[in-house]
Chains A and B, each alone.
Chain A
Amino acid sequence: MSPELIASLTVFILAAFLGFELIGRVPTLLHTPLMSGTNAISGIVIVGAILVGGASGATTTEGIISFVAIVLATINVVGGFLVTDRMLGMFKRRDRGPKE
């Protein structure tokens, strides 16, 4: 294994442990926004798609595949964050008053 791979593995394992710790503290109340919010984070692959498809030397095949990946990842990111925000905006401690 190359040193790069070991470094990447280290980052992965530590991030995974951190993820378990953090997510274990999210109340069940917020499990849906948790899922859609983290889902948006997985759209970070958009960076990968830009790195491959946005590079000047990319071939047509790479370009087409990357373009699809950019579109899908953006849907994931934009849709995910917006829908999570919309949901979280609804969670209120108290409503406008007992009677309205």
Chain B
Amino acid sequence: MIAALSQTTVNFAYLVAAVLFILGIKFLSSPKTARLGNVLSAIGMVVAVVFTLTLDYVDRYAFVIAGIAVGAAIGVAGARLVRMTAMPQMVALLNGAGGGAAAGVAIAEFDRLVRVGDLPGDTTVAILASTVLGGLTLSGSVVAFAKLQELVTGRPIVFPGQQVVNGVAFVGAVVLAIVAVATESTALLGVSFLVAATFGVLFVLPIGGADMPVVIALLNAFSGLGGVGAGFVLDNNALIVGGALVGASGTLLTLIMAKAMNRSVANVLFGAFGQVQAGPGAARADDGRTVRATTPEDVAVQLSFARKVVVVPGYGMAVAQAQHDVRQLADVLEEQGIDVKYAIHPVAGRMPGHMNVLLAEANVPYTQLLEMDQINAEFPQTDVALVIGANDVTNPAARSDTSSPIYGMPILDVDRSASIIVMKRSMNPGFAGIDNELYLDPKTTMLFGDAKDSVLKLITAVKNA
């Protein structure tokens, strides 16, 4: 059907694909060229797949095309239907698919190598890495999805002896893989995969919702490294380069996210075991300070006298799907000549860059979305800071209170603006389970209610003010 090309030609095509991937990521360094970069990467993928099909020993086209058709149908449907607010879940599932595929490739190729009696002794590590990392990425991602979709609670799920069970599962998967390679048993390698998958579930269960940005980035890294492992088993440079780029990306994002929480990666991943519960109410000193509630009308008056307003979005905005209404409120304010900007904390939301995507969806120009360092310089000149569903990332205790579990975490200096309005469902503490000093600040007033509701009321009130 397709003219057979030599292995050398196909390997050259893989090199072209690798270069396209690299250019694709390079173009992601600016929002102006990012979309083109993504197209380049996709072209690289098509090149790699098409040239693979021209190899003379690849001849089960119906089989391959059927698999691609099924996968493409699911992929297209998923990508089109997913709501922007559900993007963390989507990315989690895609990570899982990549990890699962890497493990599948390694196991199937292992079976083939054993069958033809050509299993190289030095690929043990690669087979082990792709099977174990692939297995735990697949199941861990599914659990992350379930948590983000709120199919299971987003709170850490812990049980006694969990650490021991996890350790045994992980070591068990690794040992099984080693024995499987030594005894050349595909079945045993399959068992190793299943044990690794069990470990993946146990591994993600105790990690809470607000720590999901780290978990998703880490699973991203694992899916890439699983691919690298499969590339070593197959001795295929396209897989190795592609996987290495993803591994590097995921690793870097993991480190950035952990740094933005001032925690080590290990603390995020295993922290729930130690339970970072500070004495509840530690921040609520009995000094007579109380929380003051306000009304949309009062806030509208405050806003209409402001020259500069900074919106601080958090996961609450995503949950309420309030991004479009927030943008509308900003429009109304801008029409009155008020300067509106957005303050984006690196770990606001449930994945790296979550808030940026939501606000971009609502047509907020990205020039208005400011990173923490830029916007922190502007809070002292800000008249009103509008905190919409963000909590821990605004808590001044992170700067001053050495006993606070979030002490040392870089925060948005919201409390340095002239006045602060916090939109919040109720007085329940944030994910970290601690009170927010900000709410007791005399400059702060609270607007209770669903974020979307509150913003809609504000829009009306500002128009009438």
**Given contacts A15-B240, A37-B24, are A54 and B79 in contact (CB under 8 A)?**
no
Q: Which of B62-78 contact A (CB under 8 A)?
A: 63-64, 66-68, 70-72, 74-76, 78
Pick from B14, B21, B251, B354: contact of A41, CB below 8 A. Answer: B21
- Expressed in whole angstroms, the Cα–Cα distance for A52 and B75 within the complex equals 22
A35, B220: Cβ atoms under 8 Å? yes
B residues near A19, Cβ cutoff 8 Å:
25, 244-249
Q: Mark B313-343, 1 if CB is under 8 A from A, else 0.
A: 0000000000000000001001100000000
Q: A61 CB to closest chain B CB, in angstroms?
A: 6
At the interface, is chain B mostly helix, strand, loop or mixed?
helix
Q: How many residues of B contact A (CB 8 A)?
A: 123
Pick from A15, A63, A90, A99: contact of B357, CB below 8 A. Answer: A90
- Expressed in whole angstroms, the Cα–Cα distance for A5 and B121 within the complex equals 11
Q: Which of A25-83 contact B (CB under 8 A)?
A: 25-59, 61-63, 65-83
Q: Closest chain A residue to B245 by CB distance?
A: A19
Q: Closest chain A residue to B82 by CB distance?
A: A83
**Given contacts A62-B111, A69-B101, A88-B34, are A79 and B94 in contact (CB under 8 A)?**
yes
A40, B60: Cβ atoms under 8 Å? no
- Expressed in whole angstroms, the Cα–Cα distance for A81 and B28 within the complex equals 13
B105, A52: Cβ atoms under 8 Å? yes
- Expressed in whole angstroms, the Cα–Cα distance for A69 and B111 within the complex equals 14
A93, B91: Cβ atoms under 8 Å? no
B223, A69: Cβ atoms under 8 Å? no
B75, A37: Cβ atoms under 8 Å? no
A50, B108: Cβ atoms under 8 Å? no
Q: A76 CB to closest chain B CB, in angstroms?
A: 4
At the interface, is chain A mostly helix, strand, loop or mixed?
helix
B residues near A83, Cβ cutoff 8 Å:
78-79, 82, 87, 90, 94
A91, B34: Cβ atoms under 8 Å? yes
Q: Which of B189-229 contact A (CB under 8 A)?
A: 216-217, 220, 223-224, 226-228
Q: How many residues of A contact B (CB 8 A)?
A: 87
**Given contacts A8-B237, A40-B45, are A91 and B97 in contact (CB under 8 A)?**
no
The interface-forming segment of B48-56, B151-159, B270-278, B377-385 is B48-56
- Expressed in whole angstroms, the Cα–Cα distance for A50 and B48 within the complex equals 11
B residues near A59, Cβ cutoff 8 Å:
111-112, 115
The interface-forming segment of B358-366, B410-418, B444-452 is B358-366
- Expressed in whole angstroms, the Cα–Cα distance for A78 and B55 within the complex equals 23
A90, B367: Cβ atoms under 8 Å? no
Pick from B60, B227, B353: contact of A28, CB below 8 A. Answer: B353
Pick from A5, A12, A76, A81: contact of B101, CB below 8 A. Answer: A76
**Given contacts A50-B52, A77-B45, A79-B94, are A5 and B122 in contact (CB under 8 A)?**
yes
Q: A72 CB to closest chain B CB, in angstroms?
A: 4
A54, B45: Cβ atoms under 8 Å? no
B residues near A24, Cβ cutoff 8 Å:
252
A residues near B76, Cβ cutoff 8 Å:
78-79, 82
B97, A81: Cβ atoms under 8 Å? no
B104, A66: Cβ atoms under 8 Å? yes
Output the residue of B45, B67, B356 with the most chain A CB within 10 A.
Answer: B67
Please name 5 pairs of A and B residues whose Cβ atoms are closer than 8 Å in the assembled complex, sorted by A.
A42-B227, A54-B58, A66-B105, A68-B104, A73-B98
Interface of B with A (CB < 8 Å)?
14, 17-18, 21-22, 24-26, 28-32, 34-35, 37-39, 41-42, 44-45, 48-49, 52-53, 55, 57-61, 63-64, 66-68, 70-72, 74-76, 78-80, 82, 84, 87, 90-91, 94-95, 97-98, 100-102, 104-105, 107-109, 111-112, 115, 120, 122-123, 186, 216-217, 220, 223-224, 226-228, 230-253, 256, 331, 334-335, 344, 346, 351-354, 356-357, 360-361, 363-367, 369, 371
